[in-house]
Amino acid sequence: MGRAFVYVVLGGGVAAGYAALEFARRGGYSRGELCIISEEVAPYERPALSKGYLLPEDPSRLPKFHTCVGANDELLTTKWYKEQGIELVLGTRVISADVRRKTLLTATGETISYKTLIIATGARALKLEEFGISGSDAANICYLRNLEDADKLVNAMSSCSGGNAVVIGGGYIGMECAAALVTNKIKVTMVFPEKHCMGRLFTPKIAEFYEKYYAAKGVVFVKGTAVKSLEVSDGKVAAAILRDGRRLPADMVVVGIGARANTGLFDGQLAMERGGIKVNGRMQTSDAAVYAVGDVAAFPVALLGGDVRRFEHVDCARRTARRAIEAILEPSGGAAEEGKAFGYLPYFYSRVFALSWQFYGDNAGEAVHFGDFSPPVAGGKPKFGACWVSGGRVAGAFIEGGSPEENEAMASAVRSRAAIADLAAELGSRGLGFADEE
Ligand code: FDA
Ligand code: NAD
């Protein structure tokens, strides 16, 4: 049993959706030549799962957040794929890949062959078991990576109103889910090993602002320790036991302890770097017929002097997908120069409660803070941030509560590696003076 395509996109998440739109816009294939294989439904905007999907009132549901609405672009429903002649092979897991033969084998026993493969398999959530803690299969333990996880979380929240949730991990999932739990009237205790939340990105001063804001909403932070074991009874977690001996009673648990890129199918077949599949500036892997995009791709970033990086963020998934399709369909076009770094500006964001931050570039160098870090007074919107400076130039910038113009000013300062003095003048003119650092 088998089918043959010219182009196969393996994985059907954010990057796959943006790749499909780019293919359709460029018209670079004939009906039936392109397919997307995914374990899930048609591509959707994954960030919605920790935001609109978890709202207690009028939550967002599919088909509302299929790609590419997150970039204010077309909503690609299954009907759209049909009209475009793009085959969706959904609910289907690929269990092995043979790069030399250019074939994929699905769990249903079908062999799918390709001329060009675009790997967009994303990442998976790390499990507690990988840290030696058992109990992940308990009915009230929630991870958050896909729709099934999000539905489990929604159900757990609806039977836990007024109860206690323990959130394990102080990264993106931990912070966004803690906010959603509070909004659903659940008491939250967050546990993580670092000194402060969002340890990989936030400075202590930025983290302090968010921790105080969360604490004012009732969130309790237990920092500098980790969960040692879970107390399970009748298939449900009743408490989390910490390394320091404390016992945190729990009606439900949310786990966000990091992600790993889904590279396993290609181990030993493609070059790997930074926990992902190594690609050049055209998103092409060590095999010329295979491209990789999104969370799984480690690519040279021009802005960082060609340093190879991997980002687990939605903007990167969208842009690397477009870049790969451009390179595939226009081999001598803008993305042509083999091996040249991609002119990508790293961009991450998050929205929690009434807050919204953006980050551009690299958090390397010395951080200088600007704006007002005091807790907002009733209904007020905070506005503050930080710039990371190396050699007198802006390498990275973070801003909470920025207007579209201010966000763009930060992005362009990083893109052009502006002198910090120039950005200070720009921020000063907007009433966002640099703080006196102690
Ligand atoms: P993505 O994970 O979207 O898709 C991969 C797809 O491949 C999945 O459908 C998977 O099932 C499928 N697949 C994998 N292996 C397969 C196999 N062997 N066979 C078949 N199918 C297979 N980023 C950001 O910048 N801002 C934000 O606010 C958020 N918010 C956010 C919330 C939540 C809950 C998560 C989990 C993540 C975010 N992110 C984010 C990160 C962002 O969603 C992420 O970077 C992109 O989804 C990556 O897109 P990809 O297409 O690479 O993978
Ligand atoms: P993360 O890497 O952001 O955070 C992991 C957290 O878990 C860290 O605080 C870490 O210290 C903590 N941790 C690690 N081991 C632990 C342990 N044994 N016990 C307790 N805490 C432990 O990862 P995440 O929050 O799980 O996010 C998963 C993926 O989803 C990432 O790819 C992330 O980029 C993506 N995501 C992004 C956004 C966004 O960009 N706004 C939002 C949600 C998810």
Atom 3 of ligand 1 has which residue's CA nearest to it?
13
ipTM above 0.95, yes or no: yes
The answer, yes or no, to whether residue 336 has pLDDT greater than 70, is no
**What's the pLDDT tens digit per position in 186-195?**
999 999 999 9
Average pLDDT over residues 416-424: 89
Q: What's the 207 CA to ligand 2 centre distance in angstroms?
A: 15
Cα-based torsion angle of the residue sequence 32, 34, 39, 42 in order, rounded to the nearest 10 degrees: -80
Three-class secondary structure of residue 308 per DSSP: strand
Beta partners for 387?
368, 397
Nearest to 67 by CA among 107, 38, 103, 92: 38
| Averaged confidence pLDDT in the chain | 95
Give the nearest ligand 1 atom to 48 CA. 32
Nearest to 280 by CA among 345, 339, 337, 346: 339
Nearest to 293 by CA among 80, 107, 123: 123
Q: Which of 14, 46, 62, 323 to mutate to test the pocket of ligand 1 (most atoms within 8 A of CB)?
A: 46
Write the CB contacts of 167 (distance below 8 Å, at least 6 apart in sequence). 174, 177, 178, 181, 188, 189, 190, 191, 253, 254, 256
- Banded model confidence at residue 384, pLDDT cuts 50, 70, 90: very high
So what's the pLDDT on residue 427? 83
Rounded-to-integer distance, Cα 356 and Cα 106, Å: 41
Ligand at minimal distance from the CA of 120 is 1
Average pLDDT over residues 274-288: 97
Q: What's the 296 CA to ligand 1 centre distance in angstroms?
A: 10
Average pLDDT over residues 259-271: 98
**What's the pLDDT tens digit per position in 163-180?**
999 999 999 999 999 999
Cα-based torsion angle of the residue sequence 40, 43, 17, 314 in order, rounded to the nearest 10 degrees: -100
Give the nearest ligand 2 atom to 145 CA. 30
Tokens 């977690």: give the residue: 237
168 lines ligand 2 (CB under 6 A): yes
Sign of CA dihedral 276, 281, 287, 289: positive
Ligand at minimal distance from the CA of 169 is 2
The answer, yes or no, to whether residue 148 has pLDDT greater than 70, is yes
From residue 3, how far is each of 78, 80, 88, 115 by CA, in Å?
Answer: 20, 22, 13, 12
So what's the pLDDT on residue 136? 87
Rounded-to-integer distance, Cα 280 and Cα 300, Å: 6
Rounded-to-integer distance, Cα 161 and Cα 159, Å: 6
Ligand at minimal distance from the CA of 53 is 1
Atom 15 of ligand 2 has which residue's CA nearest to it?
257
Ligand at minimal distance from the CA of 265 is 1
**What's the pLDDT tens digit per position in 77-119?**
999 999 999 999 999 999 999 999 999 999 999 999 999 999 9
So what's the pLDDT on residue 425? 84
The answer, yes or no, to whether residue 363 has pLDDT greater than 70, is yes
Average pLDDT over residues 399-421: 94
Rounded-to-integer distance, Cα 53 and Cα 184, Å: 12
Cα-based torsion angle of the residue sequence 315, 320, 325, 326 in order, rounded to the nearest 10 degrees: 100
Find the range with the poorest average confidence among 29-43, 56-70, 289-303, 368-382: 368-382
Amino acid at 102: K
Quote the percentage of the chain above a pLDDT of 70: 98
Average pLDDT over residues 398-410: 95
Q: What's the 24 CA to ligand 2 centre distance in angstroms?
A: 34
Give the nearest ligand 2 atom to 174 CA. 25
DSSP 340: P
Find the range with the poorest average confidence among 120-134, 303-317, 369-383: 369-383
Rounded-to-integer distance, Cα 237 and Cα 235, Å: 7
Tokens 């340890």: give the residue: 199
Find the range with the poorest average confidence among 294-308, 388-402, 415-429: 415-429
Three-class secondary structure of residue 206 per DSSP: helix
Rounded-to-integer distance, Cα 246 and Cα 60, Å: 37
Nearest to 277 by CA among 144, 127, 106, 118: 118
- Banded model confidence at residue 433, pLDDT cuts 50, 70, 90: confident
Q: Which of 126, 166, 172 to mutate to test the pocket of ligand 2 (most atoms within 8 A of CB)?
A: 172
So what's the pLDDT on residue 23? 98
So what's the pLDDT on residue 159? 93
The answer, yes or no, to whether residue 338 has pLDDT greater than 80, is no
- Write out the two tokens for 272: 């790997």
- Banded model confidence at residue 337, pLDDT cuts 50, 70, 90: low
123 lines ligand 2 (CB under 6 A): yes
The bridge status of strand 94-98 relative to strand 103-106 is: antiparallel
